[in-house]
Amino acid sequence: MTRIRPEIIKVFTASKGKEILRPGTIGATEVVSSFSQEMNSVLILNDGPNPVYIDFDSTVTTATGMKIPAKAWWSGDVPITSIHLICESGNTAEVYIIGFLLA
């Protein structure tokens, strides 16, 4: 099995711009990762061994956040400036984020 290498993933889109965020290793303390401007669409890859919980533009907890399982991704057309991320106590996850400005 080949390990996913997010640094070489190419995303093909009709967007007029993109911004890549690399919040790093997520743990039990909330991490906030922000785009330089509001994005219209987002792709989030959880390349870690544990689930990560996310919320958009507001505080996240494991009880209130949307769960992205380990080795999974989520995408959506949502207006977004910042992404809040957290893992359950004792767990970590490696997350990569791409935001898109749609034409």
User: Are 27 and 49 spatial neighbours (Cβ–Cβ below 8 Å)?
Assistant: no
pLDDT tens, residue by residue, 42-66: 999 999 999 999 999 899 999 999 9
**39 CB-contact burial (10 Å; exposed 0-12 / middle 13-18 / buried 19+):** buried
User: Are 18 and 99 spatial neighbours (Cβ–Cβ below 8 Å)?
Assistant: yes
Q: Mean pLDDT across the stretch 20-41?
A: 92
User: What percentage of the chain carries pLDDT values higher than 90?
Assistant: 66
Model pTM above 0.85 = no
Q: State both tokens at 60.
A: 């996240």
pLDDT tens, residue by residue, 86-99: 999 999 999 999 99
For the chain, which domains are there? 15-101 (2.60.120.10)
Distance from C-alpha of 40 to C-alpha of 60, rounded to nearest angstrom: 20
